Structure 1
Amino acid sequence: MRNTMNAIIWPADFEPGYTENFASNEIILAGLSAADIWPLLADASRWPGYYANSANVRFYDGAGPQLADGVRFYFETFGFPVEAQCNEYQPPTADQAGRIAWHGWAGEGDTRLDVHHAWLVEDLSGQRVRILTQETQKGKPAAELALANPNPMINGHQDWLNGLVSAARAAKV
């Protein structure tokens, strides 16, 4: 088991600090494993069941509900209809963290929002699991979200993490 923690892999044009908005949420807890978390996260059709801010998930080209590299999908969150494409998908193993990331976009012109949303799920020593979710955003709506206090992205993603953990615990019982 690892004591060192992995980091999100960022596309060059979405690195934190160079975008209009950035949100980072993380939880580390005992009693669950990456194998408990992964099926709930990797199957996007399950998101609305534990995260109230996710709705109307659908897939293109006969794909889904399991995410995979290149899979195009749609969902609604934070009041935005989001078109998305999974651009990183690596299930967790004993030696590697699980990784899921997608590029999402909504709107046009001044209402255009582009995001890179990434998840990292990894087992740690002491029978602990770490779940990290981070998102960078570009565009005028992202700049407005960055100024909001409380920050809806931080709060929304924390709700997602909490719901994910609750659903994993319930599935274990």
Structure 2
Amino acid sequence: MFEIIKWPADMAPSQCPIHFTNELEVAVSPETIWSLLVDPGAWPGFYPGVQHVRLLDGHSSLQSGTRFETNLAGQDVFASVQEFEPMSRIAWGGHPLVSPESKAHHAWIITPTERGVHLWTEETMRGPHWIELAKAAPDAFWLTHEKLLNDLAKVALEREAAQGRPA
């Protein structure tokens, strides 16, 4: 099934100078992937560079509209959950604290397959801060998300093995 990301108008791929996608299939349940994505305490175990996530609305996990601060891609970032469809899609958008005019939108789509799940992540970025970082290392964002997907898959597989679920 083909899913369409519900981009904010100013963050659609056609409107952003930085746009990339990454995907991976992994033999785990959608519930396991979802539980990791919405649990900010789990992020340091698979999200490159993340050491903390601070939820700003009194929630214990990500929900629709949850605002949070974290360090993504080596940047202190303010973001909020803008899409939230349990077990299938989540997206957040925000900006680095040092450059509020530099925006990013990161979407996830989780699709069940015969062997587990297909993970699709797509990000768009605009603004001077992200553009300068991309000039310095053109493939850094894409490579970071490749590592993110692989690390997420590894943690998900380990979690299911610990729970006695076959891989």
TM-score by length of 2: 0.87
Alpha-carbon contact 1:145-1:151 (below 8 Å) kept = no
Structure 1 portions without partners, runs of 5+: 93-97
Query: Structure 1 pair 48/134, CA: closer, same or farther in 2 (3 Å)?
Result: same
Runs of at least 4 residues off by over 3 Å: 145-150
Partners of 1:165 and 1:139 lie apart in 2 by: 31
Paired letter, 1:157: H
Partners of 1:57 and 1:119 lie apart in 2 by: 18
Is 1:113 the counterpart of 2:108? The answer is no
TM-score by length of 1: 0.84
What is the aligned partner in structure 1 of residue 77 from structure 2? 82
Query: Structure 1 pair 41/13, CA: closer, same or farther in 2 (3 Å)?
Result: same
Aligned with 1:102 (options 66, 69, 92): 92
Coordinate RMSD, CA, aligned: 1.8
Alignment of 1:20-169 (within 5 A): 20-29=17-26, 31-64=27-60, 66-92=61-87, 98-107=88-97, 112-124=101-113, 126-169=114-157
Cα distance, 1:142 vs structure 2: 2.1
Alpha-carbon contact 1:75-1:83 (below 8 Å) kept = yes
| Offset from partner CA, 1:32-70 (integer Å, 9 cap, x none) | 221221101111221101223212211113123x11111
Partners of 2:85 and 2:68 lie apart in 1 by: 18
| Offset from partner CA, 1:87-144 (integer Å, 9 cap, x none) | 111112xxxxx111111112456x74211111111102x2331101111111012222
Cα distance, 1:23 vs structure 2: 1.8
Alpha-carbon contact 2:78-2:97 (below 8 Å) kept = no
Paired letter, 1:50: F
Cα distance, 1:160 vs structure 2: 0.9
Cα distance, 1:150 vs structure 2: 4.9
Paired letter, 2:108: W
What is the aligned partner in structure 2 of residue 95 from structure 1? none
Structure 2 portions without partners, runs of 5+: 162-167
| Aligned pairs, number | 161
Alpha-carbon contact 1:71-1:86 (below 8 Å) kept = yes
Partners of 2:32 and 2:6 lie apart in 1 by: 23
Query: Structure 1 pair 113/69, CA: closer, same or farther in 2 (3 Å)?
Result: same
Q: Percent identity?
A: 34
